[in-house]
Amino acid sequence: MKNKYLYLSILMLLNLIVFSVFFKISPVFADNSAGEIVVGQSCDLSGPFKKAGAGLRDGALAYFKYINETGGIRGQKIRFITYDDKNDIEICLKNTEKLIKKDKASILFGYLGNYTSKIGAIEANNNKILFFAPLSGAGYLRDPVSDNIFNIRPGILKEITSMVDALVLEKKIKRISVFYRNDEYGQEGLEYIKKALKKHDIEILNETSYLNNDKDIKSSVKALLSTRPGAVIIAAEYIPASKLIKMMRKSGSKTMFLCTSFASGEMLGEILVNQGVGVVVSQVVPYPYYRKIPIVAEYNKLIKKFIPHFEPGFAGLEGFIAAKAMYRILLDMKGSYSLKKFRISAENQFFTDLSGFSFSFNRDNHQGSDQIYFIQLGPGGYSSPIKRLSDVYENREAQHDLRFFKEKQ
């Protein structure tokens, strides 16, 4: 009898040891429920790009709230902290230092703009944490590939190449001019345009630029009117872009204008109203009102539930998609969070479908998507999706309203 009890005691002890070891080493049962994953963001909420900043934040916030409500990531919740930087690099630096040192953020997410994204990327690299899905197409975020930087949106090179190819191959337009911001990122865009045109044995008709005053824009208008281009590619923010287009239209120009996504089609439409008919803007996410795409329907549904005051838009959908992509990578990750484990999980994503939007990463490529979409501005400043440039309205007085393109909320 004593031997029987001794045997049972030893067996229970062995079971306890095995149970403890299994729970310690198994990635499925790793202790992830303790603590949170802190995700930090610095973006413009009250400066010149406040609408895009609020959209980027709220789109991501809606998805993070949904994930937390449904149990988090194996029980671990996401705490999403956003600070306003007013599009000021000094404020952005202070915000980023606060996120890393005080808030203990292990992920920097959804920074808005080229200059502030550079601050975030540098600080993330210095502190060996993740920098994920900035709203920037800058080349330095993509080449060379960095272990801790992952982009969802295509780079500006892809946007510009898609524009040039469509103009030359589809519209047969070869007289192409450029209007760009005369800084390091605008010049980067200019070089990409030259590269894309060279592929078709075409040179820029004329290049015009601005820095920070209307005098530069007036000079650009004068130069463009003198050469009468068939199309003008605009690598600039929405305010100078809208001023240039208004002045050109007032002078009677019928040229086609194509703007990169950073010009913000929604803001352009609000400013230009009927003067923007036929202006094309490239986008990096699907049309945010076309709910036949499952991820767009999901976005609209969760925005309505968690951020009811917020109006859906392109920046919001980009934030939502970025949050969902990050969640998928975290979910596929083995064990508790670390930068190394995240990188391994991310680099094993191959055309991961988010229900209407897919992304891929590998060791040599940390740009998740190459998909470019086009919209055009119509009467009243409303936008509509187009598949090809031949669908664009000619520059004339339209006879009907395009508001029906926005599906009923």
| pLDDT one-digit tens code per residue, 375-384 | 999 999 999 9
> CA-CA distance, 259 to 94, in Å (whole number)?
32
Residue 63 near residue 305 (C-beta atoms within 8 A): no
Q: How many CB atoms within 10 Å of residue 95?
A: 26
**Residue 399 binned pLDDT confidence (cut-offs 50, 70, 90):** very low
Q: What average pLDDT does this structure show over 51-65? A: 97
Give the DSSP H/E element, type plus range, for residue 187. helix 184-198
Does the structure show a pLDDT above 60 at 2?
no
Residue 36's pLDDT is: 92
Residue 6's pLDDT is: 44
Query: H helices of 204-349, where?
Result: 214-227, 238-250, 265-272, 294-306, 314-332, 339-346
| pLDDT one-digit tens code per residue, 342-365 | 999 999 999 999 999 999 999 999
Tokens of 192: 């990409």
Query: How buried is residue 54: exposed, middle or buried, by Cβ count under 10 Å (0-12/13-18/19+)?
Result: buried
Residue 28's pLDDT is: 27
**At 244, phi and psi to the nearest 5?**
-60, -45
Report all structural domains of the chain as residue ranges with CATH numbers, in order of start.
36-154+290-359 (3.40.50.2300), 157-283+378-405 (3.40.50.2300)
Residue 395's pLDDT is: 52
Residue 405's pLDDT is: 37
Angle at 66 between CA 61 and CA 67, to 5 degrees: 100
Share of the chain above pLDDT 90, in %: 83
**Residue 370 binned pLDDT confidence (cut-offs 50, 70, 90):** very high
Residue 8's pLDDT is: 41
Does the structure show a pLDDT above 80 at 404?
no
> CA-CA distance, 200 to 210, in Å (whole number)?
27
> CA-CA distance, 104 to 72, in Å (whole number)?
19
Closest CA to 177 of 253, 244, 230, 254: 230
Q: pTM score > 0.75 for this model?
A: yes
Can you tell me whether residue 394 is helix, strand or coil? coil
Does the structure show a pLDDT above 60 at 170?
yes
First to last CA, the chain: 76
Residue 353's pLDDT is: 98
Closest CA to 190 of 201, 179, 198: 179
Q: What average pLDDT does this structure show over 290-312? A: 96
Does the structure show a pLDDT above 70 at 167?
yes
Does the structure show a pLDDT above 50 at 326?
yes
Residue 214's pLDDT is: 87
| pLDDT one-digit tens code per residue, 252-280 | 999 999 999 989 899 999 999 999 999 99
| pLDDT one-digit tens code per residue, 3-45 | 444 444 444 444 444 334 333 332 222 333 347 999 999 999 9
Residue 261 near residue 283 (C-beta atoms within 8 A): yes
| pLDDT one-digit tens code per residue, 131-162 | 999 999 999 999 999 999 999 999 999 999 99
State the chain's mean pLDDT as an integer.
89
| pLDDT one-digit tens code per residue, 84-127 | 999 999 999 999 999 999 999 999 999 999 999 999 999 999 99
Residue 334's pLDDT is: 87
Alpha carbon distances (Å) from 259 to 113, 156, 169, 181:
16, 11, 18, 12
Residue 44's pLDDT is: 98
